[in-house]
Structure 1
Amino acid sequence: MTLSTSSDAPGGTTGRRPPVDPERWPDVVRLPRASAPRTAVARGLVERGLARMPLRVRHEAGPLRVPRPGAPRDDTPREGTPTLTLHDPEAFHRRIGADGLIGFGESYMAGEWDSDDLVGLLTVIATHVDALIPAPLRLLRGAWAHRRPLSDRSTLEGARANIHRHYDLSNDLFALFLDPSLTYSSALFDTLPATPDALTAAQHRKIDRLLDAAGVRRGTRLLEIGTGWGELAIRAAARGAEVLTVTLSEEQRDLALRRIADAGPAGRVTVELCDYREVEGRYDAVVSVEMIEAVGADFWPSYFTALRRLLAPGGIVALQAITMPHDRMLATARTHTWISKYVFPGGLIPSRHAIARESAAAGLDITHDIGFGDHYAETLRLWRERFVEQPGAVDALGFDRTFRRMWELYLAYSEAGFRSRYLDVRQFRMVASGPDGEASR
């Protein structure tokens, strides 16, 4: 069985569409079971909600529907009004009726809808998300939202499996859209909007600000939790630090070792395939960049306890984390989302409140807290543009068209989260509470 999907052209086209691989994408090929009344309710809610937003809805071969008079204005600085083009309205509403936002994402993967401005559309929806579901129905979220699979929990074994599903996809895939530093986290630009040639310098600026916050210099014993592809370890070693960096990704570990050897500081950097809960020793500085999002709320106490346990007297933690409002975090904490199903299994974006609470409980005081979400939006834009410009290169790596649509939606969805201020990214500096804190250094 195959499902027809739209073409690669922006905004979609009519006509025969390439099939979706049923073995790789069973839930994209197969329409979910949903009763006619549930689909009708979903259609009514979605149509009512979209009509209140500053966007256009177009049924393929049908009329263009513009926002009703008095609809909320979108203050996102983007030209024009984005259009949602529905190629298969029945399938679109049926998926949403059965699976909510998971269905919304799977419908895009299936080619059942497109947009002439995907980021703009998703930014509008994220900004006005409350318009989609009336307030009384939000209280019934637990009745329709899917629960996260227990198998996705970030236990010692579960964390390895979750990391493998994302970071071990292919080093070559990530190299297609990341800059030459292979840094997979928010950059920090000197000016916005950013240009592609500014990305590597902006990634180094971000890394250097973290290393400065942690006081990394010659002789510093540094632990990095979450190696990535080794750029932070390389820059720390160039300062004269002795670095232990740990990762659960074999693909990342292998390439990081080669990059570190090529850069020269191999004698000052040790890369280990190791969970943060298994690390031993005491370190003058602990740095972790956008790794807490993969930990999962159940294990945040273990994570912050490990940070505190691994600090030498007078040591400093520098943490970079994506954050979301606390009420949103609580609403999604146990919910299985499209992102958790297809992109980041087992993870949860924390709130600033949750980070402050968990770090304090572990004996860590936050001394600095700086946000720069606009810079992440620009980072994601540059990544997305590089990715969508190279469909042939992605295909050559063994990834199909459905994967390309999934990955484009992931990057656009994330960018929209930052542009709408639904998400932020922050750098935290932490020290141990009490006599082992900064004063003892």
Structure 2
Amino acid sequence: MTTDNRQVAQAAAPDSAQERWPGVFTEPRTRLRGAVAARVIKHVLRDLPVRLRLPDGTVLGAGGPQDPEMVVHSPERFYRRIGASGLIGFGESYQAGEWDSDDLARLLCVFAANVETLVPAPLQHLRRLHVVRRPRSENRTAGEAQDNIARHYDLSNEMFALFLDPTMTYSSALFEREPVQDPEQLTTAPRHDLALPDMRDGAAGVQQLELAQRRKIDRLLDLTGVGNGSKVLEIGSGWGELATRAAHRGAQVRTITLSERQLEYTAQRARREGIADRVQVELRDYRDTDGKYDAVLSVEMIEAVGREHWPQYFSALANLLAPGGMVGLQAITMPHERMRATSRTQTWITKYIFPGGMIPSMTAIRHNAGRFGLQVRDDLSFGTHYARTLALWGERLLANAGRLGALGFDETFRRTWRLYLAYSEAGFASGYLDVHQLVLGE
């Protein structure tokens, strides 16, 4: 790779982009920390199966030709950013075009699989220099929660359509077969080889993902007994696939969202499919919702609730259930100790992708659900399926990247979302993250 993408990204950045991405276009002047970071990185790479290539031709790392490579165009800026803000700086350096990789997900998978040992033990105490506290004004009120949702989900329906399948489902799919899991490959390759068609090859790959998304939804509807005459509440509408699928079964569905664009899309979809009389779409917070329902469904919405509001969330789930009703919950999870360690820390993901977000652990879910009389009746863990889902989304976004500009999204946005999808894929592929489909009942 010979193109200096940092120069391309910055040269193409108008004033509005610099205003939108201040952390990306402001270079830290922390030479001492940068020098320390450079020494730490060189030390860590000695044991990792990756290659880090510098402009002078120097190659660091224990990786061979078969291992992922990152090409650093601007080493001094790269080291300074990491020295100033750790993993946030690592991400901002990529957004700025200061480094690249042709195998981004595999590269990040190596780092995710070794996350606990990336900083040598004698330097662990220096981590506090990188800790940035989460903003306090992100999740205190329903209004702030709506602002958080708008910053992500209201970007553009057309943008999401560039990488999602025709169901517009923005959560993990459930494939027919279990992805390959080879523990020996964790540090060199994501664990999601399903031999599915490449999304860039056209309709076949898209159809595989579409079928897997509907399989996921149908399983949740089946386990919570949704059928003709069921009264259903969905917390977090997405773009309407679950609500309309439940309505086609004969259920009466109330679906709530904080995203104005998703509300409009779901309502139009219900009208187009001739089921508007069975799908009621509302711009409403779960804390302001009433009624009793045979099934309360919430797919990958708990991650946006915020840790401080988990008791309110599970209290609402319990209070909204009719006698004998069931909760269908799909949740991304992380190990409990890791969750506790990062619960008050700003990360690259919470800064640029999901403001106010917090991934729970299964321990936290069971504890908070149990406080309100809800017990886990069924639990399916399928994190490797999420890795495959994200890989397909990433391929599709890459194939359609040329259309982002026409929608008003700049080069920094493209790099941000490429990193986000690859970063997430690596988390699931390495086992650092998981996803559970749960049924809760009294």
TM-score, normalised on structure 1? 0.90
Map Cα deviations across residues 378-434 of structure 1 (whole Å, 9 max, x no partner).
Answer: 1111110010112221111000001000000000000010110101110111002xx
Match of 2:8 in 1: 17
1:28 to 8, 13, 24: 24
CA–CA distance in 2 between the matches of 1:140 and 1:390?
Answer: 41
* Structure 1 residues 219 and 68: CA distance shift in structure 2, 3 A: closer
1:392 and 2:396 are equivalent in the alignment: no
Q: Secondary structure at the match of 1:146?
A: coil
Match of 1:339 in 2: 349
Match of 1:97 in 2: 83
Map Cα deviations across residues 78-114 of structure 1 (whole Å, 9 max, x no partner).
Answer: x920011110111011001111111000000000011
Match of 1:260 in 2: 270
Map Cα deviations across residues 125-177 of structure 1 (whole Å, 9 max, x no partner).
Answer: 00011232123544564443100011222521110000000000000000111
Q: 8 Å contact 2:237–2:243 — kept in the other structure?
A: yes
Match of 1:152 in 2: 138
The 5 Å alignment of 1:60-79 reads: 60-67=55-62
CA–CA distance in 1 between the matches of 2:344 and 2:44?
Answer: 25
Q: 8 Å contact 2:4–2:97 — kept in the other structure?
A: no
CA–CA distance in 1 between the matches of 2:122 and 2:287?
Answer: 42
Q: 8 Å contact 2:238–2:257 — kept in the other structure?
A: yes
How far did residue 12 of structure 1 move?
5.7
Q: 8 Å contact 2:48–2:61 — kept in the other structure?
A: no
* Structure 1 residues 61 and 190: CA distance shift in structure 2, 3 A: same
Q: 8 Å contact 2:172–2:389 — kept in the other structure?
A: yes
Map Cα deviations across residues 234-285 of structure 1 (whole Å, 9 max, x no partner).
Answer: 1101111110000000000001111111112111110000000000111111
Q: In terms of mean alpha carbon deviation, does 48-57 or 135-144 score higher?
A: 135-144
Q: Secondary structure at the match of 2:155?
A: coil
1:182 to 161, 168, 172: 168
Match of 1:168 in 2: 154
Unmatched 5+ stretches in structure 1: 1-10, 70-78, 433-441
Q: In terms of mean alpha carbon deviation, does 11-20 or 414-423 score higher?
A: 11-20
Q: Secondary structure at the match of 1:22?
A: helix
Unmatched 5+ stretches in structure 2: 180-193, 198-204
Q: 8 Å contact 1:154–1:162 — kept in the other structure?
A: no
CA–CA distance in 2 between the matches of 1:296 and 1:66?
Answer: 38
Q: Secondary structure at the match of 1:413?
A: helix
State the 4+ residue runs in structure 1 displaced beyond 6 angstroms.
none
Match of 2:93 in 1: 107
1:248 and 2:286 are equivalent in the alignment: no
Q: In terms of mean alpha carbon deviation, does 342-351 or 56-65 score higher?
A: 56-65
CA–CA distance in 2 between the matches of 1:12 and 1:368?
Answer: 52
Q: Which amino acid is 1:133 matched to? A: V
Map Cα deviations across residues 51-93 of structure 1 (whole Å, 9 max, x no partner).
Answer: 2211011002322234189xxxxxxxxx920011110111011
Q: Secondary structure at the match of 1:347?
A: coil
Q: Which amino acid is 2:116 matched to? A: D
Q: 8 Å contact 2:47–2:61 — kept in the other structure?
A: no
Q: In terms of mean alpha carbon deviation, does 209-218 or 45-54 score higher?
A: 45-54
Q: Which amino acid is 2:378 matched to? A: H
The 5 Å alignment of 1:11-410 reads: 11=1, 13-14=3-4, 17-18=8-9, 19=11, 20=13, 21-34=17-30, 36-67=31-62, 80-135=66-121, 137-138=123-124, 141-191=127-177, 192=179, 193=194, 194-195=196-197, 196=205, 197-410=207-420
Q: Secondary structure at the match of 1:382?
A: helix
Structure number with greater CO (CA < 8 Å, separation at least 6) is 2
Q: Secondary structure at the match of 2:345?
A: coil
Q: 8 Å contact 2:168–2:241 — kept in the other structure?
A: yes
CA–CA distance in 2 between the matches of 1:410 and 1:140?
Answer: 26
Q: 8 Å contact 2:237–2:257 — kept in the other structure?
A: yes
Identical pairs, percent: 56
CA–CA distance in 2 between the matches of 1:137 and 1:428?
Answer: 40
* Structure 1 residues 139 and 212: CA distance shift in structure 2, 3 A: farther
How far did residue 33 of structure 1 move?
3.7
Q: 8 Å contact 2:174–2:216 — kept in the other structure?
A: yes
Q: Which amino acid is 2:8 matched to? A: R
* Structure 1 residues 38 and 139: CA distance shift in structure 2, 3 A: closer
CA–CA distance in 2 between the matches of 1:288 and 1:416?
Answer: 25
Q: Secondary structure at the match of 1:209?
A: helix
Q: 8 Å contact 2:378–2:438 — kept in the other structure?
A: yes
Q: Secondary structure at the match of 2:318?
A: helix
Q: 8 Å contact 1:154–1:346 — kept in the other structure?
A: no
Q: Secondary structure at the match of 1:32?
A: coil
